Amino acid sequence: MTFFLEVLIGGLLSGVLYALVALGFVLIFKASGVFNFAQGAMVFFAALTFVGFTEVLPGWTGLEPGSGGVFWLAFALALASMIVLGIATEKVVLRPLVNQPPITLFMATIGLTFFVEGLAQAIWGANARGLSLGISDEPVMWILDDFDIIISKFDLIAAGIALVLFVVLALLFQYTRVGRALRAVADDHQAALSVGIPLKHIWAIVWGVAGFVALIAGLIWGSRNGVQFALTFTALKALPVLILGGFTSVPGAIIGGLIIGASEKLAEIYIGPFVGGGIESWFPYVLAMFFLLVRPEGLFGEKHIDRV
Partner 1 sequence: MLYREAGQFKASYQEDAQIFPIRQDRVGFIALLAFFFVVVPMIANQYWLQAILTPVLIFSLAALGLNILTGYAGQLSLGSAAFMAVGAFATYNFMLRIDGIPFLVAVVLGGLCAAGVGILFGLPSLRIKGFYLAVATLAAQFFIVWVLVKFPWFSNYSSSGVITAQEINILGFAFNTPETKYLLTLLVVTVLALAAKNMVRSTTGRKWMAVRDMDVAAEVIGIRLMRTKLQAFAVSSFYCGVAGALYAYTYLGTVEPEGFNLDLSFKILFMIIIGGVGSILGSFLGAAFIVLLPVFLNIFLHSFVGAALPPGFGSNLELMIFGGLIIFFLIVEPHGMARLWQIGKEKLRLWPFPH
Q: Does 181 bind partner 1 (CB under 8 A)?
A: no
Taking contact as CB under 8 A, which single stretch among the options 76-84, 160-168, 174-182, 269-277 is the one that binds partner 1? 269-277
167-174 contacts: CB < 8 A, separation 24 or more?
Answer: 169/23, 169/209, 169/213, 169/250, 170/250, 173/250
307, exposed or middle or buried, with CB in 10 Å at 0-12, 13-18, 19+? exposed
Q: Which of 18, 35, 44, 212 binds partner 1 (CB under 8 A)?
A: 35
Stretch 78-107 residues interacting with partner 1 (CB under 8 A): 92-93, 96-97, 100, 102-104, 106-107
Task: Select 4 or 282, whichever has its Cβ closest to partner 1.
Answer: 282
Which residue from 39, 35, 42 is spatially nearest to 101, judged by alpha carbons?
35
**CA–CA distance, 184 with 205 (Å, rounded to integer):** 14
Q: Which of 150, 165, 199, 292 binds partner 1 (CB under 8 A)?
A: 292
Taking contact as CB under 8 A, which single stretch among the options 48-56, 164-172, 249-257, 283-291 is the one that binds partner 1? 283-291
Which residue from 106, 98, 102, 101 is spatially nearest to 199, judged by alpha carbons?
98
Smallest gap, in angstroms, from Cβ of residue 275 to partner 1? 7
Given its phi and psi angles, is residue 307 left (phi above 0), alpha (psi -120 to 50 degrees) or beta? beta
Site string for partner 1, 109-148 (x = CB under 8 A): -xxxxxxxxxx-xx--xx----------------------
Could you tell me the CA-to-CA distances from 242 to 181, 187, 227, 238, 255 in Å, in that order? 23, 19, 24, 6, 10
CA-derived radius of gyration, the chain = 20
Task: Select 32 or 152, whichever has its Cβ closest to partner 1.
Answer: 32
Could you tell me the CA-to-CA distances from 95 to 32, 34, 101, 110, 136 in Å, in that order? 11, 11, 13, 16, 44
Taking contact as CB under 8 A, which single stretch among the options 70-78, 161-169, 256-264, 290-298 is the one that binds partner 1? 290-298
> For residue 33, which amino acid is it?
G
Q: Does 155 bind partner 1 (CB under 8 A)?
A: no
Q: Does 273 bind partner 1 (CB under 8 A)?
A: no
Which parts of this chain interact with partner 1 (CB under 8 A)?
35, 92-93, 96-97, 100, 102-104, 106-108, 110-119, 121-122, 125-126, 236, 239-240, 242-243, 247, 275-279, 281-282, 285-286, 288-289, 292-293, 296-298, 304, 306-308
